[in-house]
Structure formats: C-alpha cells, structure tokens
Structure 1
Amino acid sequence: MNKIILNKGKDKAAWQLHPWLFSGAIASISAPTPNGDIVSVYNQDQEFIAYGMYNANSRVAVRLLEWDPRKEINEQWWRERLQKAVNHRRHLLHDENNTLRLVFAEADFLPGLIADKYADFISIQVHAAGIEKIKPILVDELNKLLQPKGIYERSDLKSREHEGLADTNGLLSGEMPPSFVDIIENGIHYQVNIVEGQKSGFYCDQRDNRHITAKYVKGKRVLDCFCYSGGFTLNAFRAGAASVTSVDSSALAIETLKSNVAANGFDAEKHHAVQSDVNKYLRELGEQGEVFDLIVLDPPKYAPSRSTLEKASRAYKDLNRRGLLLLKSGGLLATFSCSGAMDIDTYKQVIAWAALDAGKEIQFIYQYGQPEDHPVRASFPEGEYLKGLLVRVL
C-alpha cells in the first residue's frame, strides 16, 4: 500500500474524521498510484491518520474510509460497510413503503456510492474510481442482502469526469427493469422509470416532506411546481385537496404524473397538468390574477458550489417572490432548496427578501429536512443538502 504524507497543518480535518483530502493537502506520495487504489495517510510526524481511496485526477485526491490502523480495507470490509448501511434502514420497508435510499455515500462511509431501492429493483450510481474498482463486490452483496429482481446502474454523472471515469449505464445483475416500475411510498403508487428518469429514477428524499405538507391541503387549491412524477401532487390528492395544478418542463414527467394520478384512482377532473417553464408559468398566473391556498416550489439545484451561491440566491429569491404573489392571506408556501452550498439561515434570509419584494408579511411555521435514509454524518456536514421552509402569508 502506498503512503501519503500530508503538508504541515493540513491534517486537522482528517483527524476530525472528515472524509475528504484535497490535492493541495498532500506533501508526497511514496510511489505512483493508480486511481482508485487504497493508500495510507500520515501527517508530517509519520503518525497514521487513515486509509482512503486515491485519485490523482480529482480535486478530492483521497476519500478517507477507515481510521483504525488495525483494520484492512479488503473485500470483507466493503461487505460489512454495505451490510451496516442496509440494515440501518430495513425498518423503513413495509407495506406502505417499498422505496428508499440504501446507501448515501459519505454518510455511510461508502464515499462515491449511491444505491436506491425501488420495489424489487435497485438503482446505483458510482461517483468514485475506488468504488468502480470494487463494484462487483458491492453488487454481489446487495444481491445477498435484498435479493432484488435486478440491479441497474445510472452513472451518467458530471462528477465522474473529475474522477477520470466515463459515463456508464446498464444492467449489472438480474432482470432488466421494465419501462416503469410500480413503487409504493406513503401508501401511494408511482410509476418510476429507472432507466431514463431523472437521477436514479425518483426523489425519495422528499418522502417525509410530502407527507407533512399534505396535512395542510384538505379542501385547498394547490399548485405543485417542478412536480416531476407528482410526489407532492399525489400526497395532496390523498389528503383531500380540492384541486391540484402540477407544473414541470419535462414532457416525460408530465406523462408519468398523469399515469400516477390514474393509477391511484384520483379524480383527473380535479387535476391540471402543465408542461412549462415554471418561472414563465408563474408570471402568467400572476397576470391572470390567479391565487392558491398552498404552493410547492421544489426546484433543481441552483447552487452546485459556493462560487455560484450569490447568483443562485437571486434565482431563489425571484422564484419565491413569484410564488408568494399568488398566495392570499393565510396561504402557505412549501419552498425547498437541494443546494448543499445553501445553508438554512441563508435560505431564510433569501425567502425574507422575496417576501419583502412581494409586499408580503410572512411567518416561518415549519423547517423541512432530509429523511433518515439520507442521514448527515457529524464529521461531514456537507451531506446536509436538502432544506425547506413552510411559510404562511399573513
């Protein structure tokens, strides 16, 4: 195993169990090391810190895995890590829910691996060269733990470029997923396209937030923006919403949503599905004088990094201002950011600015977060990416 020595003063985060070592922290490496190989990391005083996966192509040069020098990063180590991640989540699987995140990368000490369970199928994403090397072990262990019908890979990710990896999609084991897999979340059926859908197929990170928001919709007129396959829409109908308007720019998302409404037996007469740019549609609704009782704004990631935060804040402010203008007194705005660079305090300030520009007085009445299958490791706060606010207009 090759040995990495860190620059003086660059070992503090690693001692504190943070899993990333940036290239600038490395003073030397004992020999040329293939990307994805395991290395041992030491400080300037030759004290062992941790084992990790090395990649010369990546700004995150080492993804740390294990801080106990007595452990060996071998096949059994990988299998045990995967077993722990899956077993910590088994209680979330029941008749009302057969879909969840099985592995959440750094949070589960498996940096570079995402695995989601969709009914009888598993979808995985590989972000790191080290995980790519031991992928067959992980696939074998997932089969042993859960006996899925099939495991499909959706590793078409920009992050792979930084690891020197090409995109790869395809079946890893078992049966090819059908065009649409029928899953259950919160007792609601969804048709999920694992092969061609967004990300790994479905956004299970909003499971709890959909359920919580649905408590406020009975008899109400709801607008669900960036609806994708209809998570908030379907929960709203199940909770007795008077009507729901769902908006997304994707034609596939809108068609899938319509199928999901029908599959659950909800009244299609109460549903209006719109394929449109959300900001454009919100402007049109404002010009028409439309008002709603509850609006959901769940946009894609506007701030992928700290350097884009200022620009993203303006985009979030403008979007939420348009939403607030469509709410009458007592109306509710469920607004979300999935940008890890946007912390909750900054997001509150952005929403406050949006309310000021809209001429609305608001209250923050609930703070949303990630469900327990998307845990946040204490030593890796960057894993806390999803945040949201339930806002009341006064």
Structure 2
Amino acid sequence: MKPVIDLKVKGNFINKYKSGYPLISKDAITNPNVLKEEGRIIHLLDKNNQFIAKGYYGKQNKGLGWVLTEKQGEKIDFTFFKTKILTAINKRQSFYKDENTNAFRVFNGEGDGIGGLTIDYFDGYYLISWYSEGIYTFKELVIRAIDELGDYKAIYEKKRFDTKGQYIDDDDFLKGERGEFPIIVKENGVNYAVYLNDGAMVGVFLDQRDVRKVIRDKYAKDKNVLNTFSYTGAFSVAAALGGAMKTTSVDLAKRSKAKTIEQFSVNGIDFEQQDIIVMDVFDYFNYAKRKNLKFDLVILDPPSFARSKKRTFSTAKDYPSLIKDTIEITEKNGVIIASTNNATFGMKKFKGFIREAFSDMNVKYKILEEFSLPADFQVDRNFPQGNYLKVLVVKKSG
C-alpha cells in the first residue's frame, strides 16, 4: 500500500475544508510540489499537523483532487466506493421505476461524495466518466461496486482526461454484452438515439431533461422555433412533439445534420418538414436579419467556449452580445430560452447578462421561469459551482 501524502492547508482555507468544501485547489495548499503520482491518498493538515480531511490526488481543470471523507480512520477501499454508489442508486429509485424515462444520472461526482466520477444509466447500460488519471486508478473498485449492486446489459466508459484535459478516444466498452448502437432511450416519453461507443458525447445531454419537457409541454405549440448550437437537435425534437409549427436547427458541426435527422426519425417526425442548417450560429443571425426572419421561440445553449475559423466565443464575456443578436430576430412577445453550463459564474451574474443585453437594446423583458440541474444531478451544498446549469425562460415584451 502506497504511503499517504500530507498536504498543508493555508490558514485562510482551513475553515472552508472543515465546513465540507470538497475541491482540493492548488491555491489552498502550501506544498503542492510533493504531489507526483495521481491516485495517491491525501491527508489535508493544518499548520499544527492536525487532520482536517482525506481525499485523493487527481488533476483536472478544477483543481488537484477531491476530498472524500472527514473521518481520519475511514479507508478509501471497495467498501467505501460500494457504499457511496449504493447510496446514490437508492436515491434514484424513482428514476429506475419511471416507465417514461430510462436515461438518467446515477452518480454525480462530488454531489454523491466522489468528485471526478460520474455514472449515467441508459436503458440497462451504465456509462462511467472519469475526469482525471487519479480517479481512474480506482476503476476496478467502481466496476466491482456496480457488479454487486444490480443487473445491467453492459458497462461503457469515457476517459475525459489527458495532459491537456481532453477526452481520450479509444474503445469505450468495459464488460457485459456490447450494445447495438444507437440504442433508443426514453425521456419523458420522447425517444433519443444514443451512442455510448462514439467519442466524448453520446447524443443527448441528460441535464437538460426538465428544459426539454417544458419546451414540449408549455412553449412550443404553434410556434416557429429556432434552436441554435443545436448539436443533435434534442430541443427541436421536444418542440416538434409539442406542436411547433416548424423548427429550425442550426449548428456548425457537419455531423449535426445527420444526427438531427436521426433524432427526428426515431420519433416518427418528418425531418423534411423541418429546417436543419449546418452554419456558424453567428453567421445565421446575420442571415436571419438580412432576410427579416423572426421566431416565436429561440433556444440558446452554447458551449462555454468555442472556436471557429472566424471567431472565438466565450459565454463568460460574449453571452450579452449573443442575447442582443437573439432579441433582433425574436417576435414581440416571443420567448428566449437562454442556457449555459459555464460553472465559473452563478445565476445572479447570468441574469445580469440578460439585463445588460435587453437594456442595451432598449427592449423590455420578463423572466418567466428558471431551471438548474435536475434531481438526479445531485449537488454538494458546500460546492455551489457544482450546480453549473443555468437556464432562464425570458419573454420579450417589446
């Protein structure tokens, strides 16, 4: 067994960790240079060498690793992982029993007690995502825990790390029977084609479940809908099934068109009656303005950071200008669904982006409702950054 590494916590961070803060950040530690091999167990100590918490070393963009327990005697072993995963599964029993939804998150990182690890469920298939080499060293314990806790068709994995923090693209199959992809999962009665064996993304973002449902049930009927940064068109499918007059899906990625056609098709929707456009969203805004196109419902869910040949986009600095472009092509009394998964700012700042954009355009608005992560995406109350999703339903009133 490898020796534990002692990390000294700076004085102004001690109370934070004693209060349950889970992320081990470099600026909180006086001796980060002692960290060499990821996966090693860490003890956080104060200046008097008094124990504060225990965790593991695993570098990801958020920090050096994660706290796992405040109990000095608790072992980070199979029993630890099994208990955490079993507790998480028990909390999701209502999802397992839901006949209309069979795709959801089973384990949500630090929200369920182990940062850097997520486990999703897709109609009998488990998908484990590893966010650092450190957490990956515990792989056999996690798989064994899933083995002991229930039946499944297969386990797949995504290694979302390398020296640049990117996804490692190799065979994602771990054990069980290989799936025939796509598998068709259900979410609130809607079908989505999912690929667990094809790169970093599977085809649908589970954290937007509640937003897709409200689009279908409340905002889409008889509306002309624009879905920007549309990926595989999941929002467009929800809108079409909600009775939208027409949907327009716009994304720069060439494969988005075939993927969107597939999502419409598995729901029995005639994709030829919808517009699916491969184009830079900002170029499309200019096109729509030139053609005087207007939409009743516009969905904005950009990546936190994106770079194309023409421009670089960052939600942290460019979201207000994105909203301003949107206001210009939204009908009076139309609705904008503004979303971001950027964890570096909270809902208050996001609402400030909306206020700034509408003020600059001299247009009035009203926030009708707001969403954050759904119930299966458990959040640690001591780590608000973990509740990264912010969605505002905004009505343009002038």
Taking structure 1 as the reference length, what is the TM-score of the superposition?
0.90
User: CA 1:221 to 1:126, structure 2 compared with 1: closer, same or farther past 3 Å?
Assistant: same
Aligned to 1:96: 100
Aligned to 1:187: 189
Alpha-carbon shift at residue 200 of structure 1 (Å):
4.7
Which SS does the other structure have where 2:388 is aligned? coil
User: CA 1:201 to 1:68, structure 2 compared with 1: closer, same or farther past 3 Å?
Assistant: farther
Letter in 2 for 1:328: E
Q: For 2:81 and 2:231, how far apart are their aligned partners in 1?
A: 34
Q: For 1:390 and 1:355, how far apart are their aligned partners in 2?
A: 14
User: CA 1:259 to 1:320, structure 2 compared with 1: closer, same or farther past 3 Å?
Assistant: same
Does the 8 A contact of 2:324 with 2:358 survive in 1? yes
Does the 8 A contact of 2:117 with 2:131 survive in 1? yes
Deviations 1:283-309 (A, max 9, x none): 101110111111111111139xxxxxx
Deviations 1:213-252 (A, max 9, x none): 2211111111111222222111112211111111122232
Alpha-carbon shift at residue 43 of structure 1 (Å):
1.2
Which SS does the other structure have where 1:10 is aligned? helix
Deviations 1:248-290 (A, max 9, x none): 2223222122122122112435311111111111210111011
1:380 to 377, 380, 383: 383
Letter in 1 for 2:290: E
Does the 8 A contact of 1:4 with 1:30 survive in 2? no
Does the 8 A contact of 1:125 with 1:200 survive in 2? no
Aligned length: 386
Does the 8 A contact of 1:338 with 1:385 survive in 2? yes
Verify: 1:118 aligned to 2:115, yes or no: no
Does the 8 A contact of 2:316 with 2:342 survive in 1? no
Does the 8 A contact of 1:23 with 1:59 survive in 2? no
User: CA 1:260 to 1:125, structure 2 compared with 1: closer, same or farther past 3 Å?
Assistant: same
Structure 1: runs of 5+ lacking an equivalent: 304-309
Verify: 1:66 aligned to 2:69, yes or no: yes
User: CA 1:195 to 1:323, structure 2 compared with 1: closer, same or farther past 3 Å?
Assistant: same
Aligned to 1:26: 29
Alpha-carbon shift at residue 182 of structure 1 (Å):
1.0
2:19 to 16, 28, 45: 16
Alpha-carbon shift at residue 27 of structure 1 (Å):
4.1
1:109 to 106, 110, 113: 113
Verify: 1:152 aligned to 2:156, yes or no: yes
User: CA 1:42 to 1:228, structure 2 compared with 1: closer, same or farther past 3 Å?
Assistant: same
1:294 to 282, 294, 297: 297
Letter in 2 for 1:34: E
Deviations 1:161-215 (A, max 9, x none): 2789976552111233333121111101111122225535430000001111221
Compare 32-41 and 344-353 and name the one that shifted more.
32-41
User: CA 1:91 to 1:211, structure 2 compared with 1: closer, same or farther past 3 Å?
Assistant: same
Q: For 1:265 and 1:15, how far apart are their aligned partners in 2?
A: 54
Does the 8 A contact of 1:6 with 1:43 survive in 2? yes
Aligned to 1:256: 259
Alpha-carbon shift at residue 332 of structure 1 (Å):
0.5
2:233 to 225, 230, 235: 230
Alpha-carbon shift at residue 56 of structure 1 (Å):
8.0
User: CA 1:5 to 1:350, structure 2 compared with 1: closer, same or farther past 3 Å?
Assistant: closer
Percent same amino acid among aligned pairs? 25
Aligned to 2:175: 173
Does the 8 A contact of 2:229 with 2:302 survive in 1? yes
What's the C-alpha RMSD, in Å, of the aligned pairs?
2.6
Alpha-carbon shift at residue 147 of structure 1 (Å):
2.3
Aligned to 2:310: none
2:139 to 126, 132, 135: 135
User: CA 1:273 to 1:194, structure 2 compared with 1: closer, same or farther past 3 Å?
Assistant: same
Does the 8 A contact of 1:154 with 1:200 survive in 2? no
Verify: 1:199 aligned to 2:212, yes or no: no
Alpha-carbon shift at residue 356 of structure 1 (Å):
3.0
Compare 26-35 and 84-93 and name the one that shifted more.
26-35
Q: For 1:65 and 1:216, how far apart are their aligned partners in 2?
A: 42
